Amino acid sequence: MKFMDVHHGMSGITAEQLRAAHAADAAVEAEEGVHFEQAWADPDSGTVYCLSEAPSREAVQRVHRRTGHPADEIHPVPLSV
Amino acid sequence: MKFMDVHHGMSGITAEQLRAAHAADAAVEAEEGVHFEQAWADPDSGTVYCLSEAPSREAVQRVHRRTGHPADEIHPVPLSV
């Protein structure tokens, strides 16, 4: 199932920091059965969105916790267009 | 520039309703210089995320207003991975 998770409080995040966070997630995601497909960041509001394919909300959060950036919201998004 | 907009209060949205909303946006988006690339919906929480390429936040909202579903949040997302 696909999930969209949201991180707040990331004001000023740089392209390099986004890449590093994504790379950290990518390094451990397989152990949780998760794949982070895309991520987008708004440095002004400090919001980061991550789209993943994962077995559960909890699995998404386990990856983000292991890499030091737990999500503030995790929504299953079974519908897409 | 890319934007992520968010709609709340869409509880129970169906795949058909998401496709119809996306099609309505697609029918007028060019007049505002906008292109909606992808959208994802969580029927349980009533949240819809739309990713677009657009000249401004206001242009994104003009399309959504014209098609009857203004966004609750519109974030520029200059960074992606």
Of chain A, the percentage scoring pLDDT greater than 70 comes to 100
For residue B47, give the amino acid letter: T
- A14–B contact, CB cutoff 8 A: yes
Average pLDDT, chain A: 98
- A8–B contact, CB cutoff 8 A: no
Tokens of A25: 């997630």
| C-alpha R_g of chain B | 12
Give the Å distances, CA to CA, from B26 to A55, B35, B71.
32, 7, 15
Encode chain B (81 residues) as per-residue pLDDT tens digits: 999 999 999 999 999 999 999 999 999 999 999 999 999 999 999 999 999 999 999 999 999 999 999 999 999 999 999
- The span from the CA of B78 to the CA of A58, in Å, is 28
**Contact check, Cβ <8 Å, B40/A4:** yes
ipTM of model: 0.92
Which helix (H) or strand (E) segment is A16 a member of? helix A15-28
pLDDT tens digit sequence for A53-70: 999 999 999 999 999 999
The angle subtended at Cα A6 by Cα B75 and Cα B33, nearest 5°, is 25
- The span from the CA of B28 to the CA of B62, in Å, is 10
Distance of residue A24 Cα from the nearest chain B Cα, in angstroms: 13
Picking from A15, A78, A81, the nearest residue to B79 by CB comes out as A15
- Tell how strand B47-53 and strand A73-76 pair up: unpaired
| CB-facing half-sphere around the CA of A9: CA atoms within 13 A | 5
**Contact check, Cβ <8 Å, B18/A79:** yes
> Which residue(s) pair with A30 in the sheet?
none
